[in-house]
Amino acid sequence: MSRAIVVGLFVFGALIILIAAVFLIGRKELLFSETFELRAEFPNVAGLAPGSEVRIGGLRKGTVKEIRLPESPGENVTVVLSVEKDTRNLIRRDSVAGIATEGLLGNKHVSISFGSSDAEPVQDGDTLRSVTPTDYSDLIDRANKVIEQTGEALNEAKTALRTVSRIGSDIESVVEKIDRGEGTIGALVNDRTLYNQANQILANADKTTRTIDSAAEDLSKKASAVIDDAQAAVQDIRRATTEVSANTGPVIEEARQGLGAFNENMQALKRNWFFRGFFRDRGYFNLEDLTRSEIADVPKDPARRFVIDADDLFDEPDTAELKKEDKLEEIGRLIESSNPGLVVVTAYTDPKGAAEENLDMTRAQAGVVRRFFIDNFRVDEDAIRTKGFGENAATREGRIEILMYSSQPEVRETQ
């Protein structure tokens, strides 16, 4: 053959090899197939590399296109997968991606499970759920730790066996000494005299126990007699108590009727021309009227708070008769214009006199201020409540506080 033919055959063969190589590489890299991208995130890729196979149902249907490191610690590694388009109906949104190994030490590849038939197919760029890959180096480390722990346990078991063996030898030595009559126990076992003395001690103890039982029986009989006498005395006391109760009932009823009549007389006496001036100066007639508008607990966080000294409002510290009503005019106009959800008038007095009287006086002063607002301004009567606190030991002065709330908080009535 001529040189030209040889060169032509060589070039033709090289082209065939090149075309075959391009075809094989292109088939492996899916250059001649339609593909779409999927993503999966893993804590670590366990040796997976770009170009590794992607298997679906055990068949090679894609390659690992790219592996992206996380931007910050604590995030996962993102694996970009290039998968053949004809598998889109098999891969669903509930499919799971995992990193598997061919055999024990084979190449790594990504395995994608089939999704359920009722789940939606994945779209280009979707991220699949993933499982943490198994790293055989971690398994080997764990196995080494287990082997080390097992060796330590065996060493401890050997030490325990040696200890048990020494204890057995010591017990055998003690038994031999007892058998030879050595020591206290040996003497008790081999000496008949000590045995007889022990029996005598037990007999004496039994006799003592019987004596104690007899004495306890006598004591029980005497105690029963004492208890019977006590029960008889209790019965006598009960009969006497019943007789006293029967005689006391009519007396209590008469006392109750007398108190009722006395209360009626006192109410009438309050309106008598000679005494009513005292109650008018005090500012109230009936103590029951003081608690009708009173609440049990004052709500927290009022929207507005006004504080007025008691000396600036009332004639005397121990009265509930207003002296300077002009100090309440501006507050009354504000209540009328703003229409708050709740207004609470609280009163305090200085710690002088009886505590119960001081409590009643603060209730009366709060009630007088409330009545002033109701009588002189167009306000909701149910929205204005009172609370008398009695003595104010903290500041040692009397004052009136008017608390305004923008909304109607939950309040409890005074029982």
Residue-by-residue pLDDT tens, the chain, 415 positions: 678 787 777 888 888 888 777 666 655 555 556 889 999 999 988 888 998 999 998 888 899 999 999 989 889 999 999 999 888 888 998 999 999 888 766 789 999 998 888 889 998 989 999 998 876 667 777 888 888 898 888 989 889 988 988 898 889 888 888 777 777 776 666 666 766 777 788 888 888 888 887 877 877 787 777 788 778 877 877 776 676 556 555 655 664 565 445 445 544 544 454 544 544 444 454 556 667 889 989 999 999 999 998 888 887 767 888 887 888 999 999 999 999 999 999 999 887 778 888 888 889 999 999 999 999 999 999 999 999 988 865 566 789 999 999 877 766 666 5
Q: Give 145's DSSP letter.
A: H
β-strands 108-112, 53-56 pairing: parallel
Rounded (10°) angle between helices 326-338 and 355-376: 60
Residues 225 and 290 in one domain: no
Does one domain contain both 310 and 391? yes
Q: Which two tokens stand for residue 47?
A: 């040796």
Do 292 and 401 fall within a single domain? yes
Which one of 134, 168, 185 terminates a domain?
Answer: 134
Q: State the pLDDT at residue 259.
A: 44
What is the extent of the structural domain holding 213? Answer: 204-270
On whether residue 278 sits in a domain, the answer given is: no
pLDDT of residue 263: 46
Start-to-end CA span in the chain (Å): 128
Q: Is-contact 341 363, C-beta < 8 A?
A: no
The set of residues, in sequence order, having a beta carbon less than 8 Å from that of 297 and lying 6+ positions away, is 411, 412
**What is the rounded distance in angstroms from the CA atom of residue 94 to the CA atom of residue 114?**
8
Structure tokens at 89: 């109906």
Do residues 211 and 253 both lie within one domain? yes
Per-residue pLDDT, 243: 66
Identify the pLDDT of residue 96: 93
Residue with token string 């009886």: 354
Residue 236 in tokens: 């006598």
Q: Is 121 helix (H, G, I), strand (E, B) or coil?
A: strand
254 inside domain? yes
| d(C-alpha 395, C-alpha 240), whole Å | 56
One domain for residues 325 and 399: yes
- Residue 45 sits in the same domain as residue 104: yes
Q: Could you tell me if 293 and 229 lie in one domain?
A: no
- Predicted pLDDT of residue 335: 92
**266, 288: one domain:** no
Specify whether 337 is located in the same domain as 375.
yes
- Residue where one domain finishes, among candidates 246, 270, 294: 270
288 and 393 fall within a common domain: yes
pLDDT, residue 278, reads 47
Q: For residue 185, what pLDDT is reported?
A: 72
Structure tokens at 58: 């055990």
Indicate whether 294 belongs to any domain.
yes
Residue 64 domain flag: yes
In a domain, 410, yes or no: no
Q: Give the model's pLDDT for residue 329.
A: 92
20 in a structural domain: no
Could you tell me if residue 178 is inside a domain? Answer: no
DSSP at 288:
G
State how far the Cα of 113 lies from the Cα of 107, in Å rounded to an integer: 19
Sorted by sequence, the CB contacts under 8 Å of residue 222 that are 6+ apart come out as none
Give the domain-ending residue among 270, 293, 325: 270
CATH number of the domain residue 289 falls in: 3.30.1330.60
Distant-in-sequence, close-in-space partners of 405: CB < 8 Å, separation ≥ 6: 299, 302, 303, 340, 341, 342, 343, 344
Are the beta carbons of 30 and 84 closer than 8 angstroms? yes
Taken as a whole, the chain contains a residue count of: 415
Q: What is the pLDDT of residue 78?
A: 94
DSSP helix/strand/coil, 116: coil
Identify the three-state secondary structure at position 267.
helix
**Token pair recorded at residue 4:** 């030209």
Residue 371: inside a domain, yes or no?
A: yes
Shared domain check, 378 and 291: yes
Indicate the pairing of strand 77-84 with strand 35-42.
Answer: antiparallel
Residues sharing a CB contact under 8 Å with residue 193, sequence separation 6 or more, in sequence order: none
Res 276: pLDDT: 47
The partner residues of 387 in beta bridges, in order of sequence, read 346
What 3-state class would DSSP assign to 228? helix
On whether both 394 and 288 belong to a single domain, the answer is yes
Count up the domains in the chain and report the number.
3
